[in-house]
């Protein structure tokens, strides 16, 4: 449940913002602004996960000294840091998917009188949907398996189901790490292997889910 909450929260933060940012960079930003913002996206994409975890931990220390003395690491902080970690991948894949559409197809909507927004909504986004969906699935997969970020931002052993976004939590990748390092008997080690299989199964299920969503979306667009 901790992994589920973490993935849902971080994806809800990263995917909409990432897709909107990728669309803006591909269709609306000037060449100079695209180059300027693209530099920061590339820097963010190259940030190691442990650095993102340290950023979240430092943010909590800053809040304790300034605005919120009771601030502590929690599920919401971990999800926000994971969202920052996967955000550049969603932005880059969305921008690349839209930019890769051939020019004749890009002009298809405007040639029949579509506005810029309608051409984007009815022509470009459906054509770029496969790549954009891949970016979303990549974000979900990365959010479910990263350990370094959550290690410093709110995960603890045996936390149970979090009661709110401000509680501590336990996630599958941390449980694997904890049991592999601290197991006290063969049974706990077996639990670590079982947890690994669960996480592997979740990651493997993302791919057929992505294919099913893509086919469903293509059928809806064809009906239009």
Q: Of 78, 79, 73, 124, which is closest to residue 102 (Cα–Cα)?
A: 124
Chain centroid, CA 174 distance in Å: 18
- Predicted confidence at residue 108, as pLDDT, reads 78
DSSP 8-state secondary structure symbol assigned to residue 29? S
Q: Of 203, 210, 199, 9, which is closest to residue 93 (Cα–Cα)?
A: 210
**Per-domain boundaries in the chain:** 2-170
Mean pLDDT by 10 residues, the chain (224 residues): 89 92 90 90 89 91 86 90 91 89 81 81 82 81 84 84 87 88 85 89 79 69 58
Alpha helices in the chain (DSSP H): 2-23, 31-45, 49-65, 75-99, 103-106, 108-111, 116-119, 125-145, 148-151, 172-182, 186-223
Q: Of 25, 43, 153, which is closest to residue 97 (Cα–Cα)?
A: 25
pTM: 0.84
3-state helix, strand, coil in the chain (%, to 5): 80, 0, 20
Report how far residue 153's alpha carbon sits from residue 162's, in angstroms, rounded to the nearest whole number.
14
According to DSSP, the residues that pair with 37 across neighbouring strands are: none
Query: Residue 153 in 3-state DSSP?
Result: coil
Q: Which helix (H) or strand (E) holds 136?
A: helix 125-145
What kind of fold does domain 2-170 have according to CATH?
Answer: MetI-like fold (1.10.3720)
- Predicted confidence at residue 31, as pLDDT, reads 87
What size, in residues, is the chain?
224
């Amino acid at each position: 449940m901790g992994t589920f909450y973490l993935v849902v929260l971080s994806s809800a933060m990263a995917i909409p913002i990432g897709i909107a940012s990728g669309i803006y960079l591909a269709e609306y930003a000037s060449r100079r602004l695209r180059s300027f913002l693209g530099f920061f996206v590339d820097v963010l994409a190259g940030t190691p996960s442990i650095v993102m975890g340290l950023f979240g931990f430092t943010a909590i220390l800053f809040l304790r000294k300034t605005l919120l003395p009771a601030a502590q690491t929690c599920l919401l902080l971990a999800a926000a840091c994971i969202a920052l970690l996967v955000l550049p991948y969603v932005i880059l894949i969305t921008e690349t998917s839209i930019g890769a559409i051939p020019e004749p197809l890009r002009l298809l909507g405007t040639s029949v009188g579509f506005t810029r927004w309608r051409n984007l909504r009815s022509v470009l986004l459906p054509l770029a949907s496969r790549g954009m969906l891949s970016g979303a699935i990549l974000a979900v997969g990365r959010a479910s398996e990263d350990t370094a970020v959550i290690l410093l931002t709110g995960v603890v052993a045996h936390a149970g189901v979090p009661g709110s976004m401000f509680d501590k939590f336990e996630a599958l990748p941390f449980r694997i790490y904890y049991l592999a390092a601290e197991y006290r008997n063969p049974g706990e080690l077996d639990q670590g292997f079982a947890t690994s299989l669960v996480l592997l199964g979740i990651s493997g299920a993302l791919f057929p889910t992505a294919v099913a969503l893509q086919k469903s979306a293509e059928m809806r667009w064809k009906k239009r």
